[in-house]
Structure 1
């Protein structure tokens, strides 16, 4: 059996592996509340856009359920063109409400989220702005 060791082939295999892992963790479709999902660790984050620089962030368990804020925290920032704006986040019983200044979001910005759920710290996750899903959406609101 011949082993392919061409850089382009290896890169393609890595991308296929990453894409498969994202789909396995639900990042290719809306979360249970219609938001975008990321998996920073032993939990999921679901981000719902409420308009320019206004977001609802839920910290869900591995089954995409039980949003909580107790013993949890979030740090959210918008990064664009080398600038970073830290958003203010208010704690509610089942979610965090995060918001920024009134300036509109610039093109090709990204939302950076650092979080911990029930004292379990996750890795930093990135949400491209505006939101885009990997597969076509056919759900009703």
Structure 2
């Protein structure tokens, strides 16, 4: 009986092992990850990323072979570049205001981005759409 408890205690002390996603080559920041760029390897659990969650994403940092890809290392592909002039749209009820702004960083669809309104020089935050438009909400 004690032997069984000892085996369970030792197994609980060992690190959990599972598949992890690793690059097969150096992937530079701002590169889109292709299916041939990554592989599943057995090793210590480093997160719950799957191949489907990684493929098609953009590398935010340099990714190296032998190192697992973490959730913070990747993101949605950018549709707006830093310093790009983008349309700003504010809608509230029947009121619709459109202006031009300058993006203060890179961002992908669905992400929030700070933008400087070119007319007023005010800085606003809005959500990036797939077309690159910035929707400013109240």
What band does the TM-score fall into relative to the shorter chain?
under 0.3
Higher Rg of the two aligned structures: 2
Q: Which protein is richer in strand relative to its size? A: 2
TM-score normalised by the chain length of structure 1: 0.22
TM-score normalised by the chain length of structure 2: 0.23
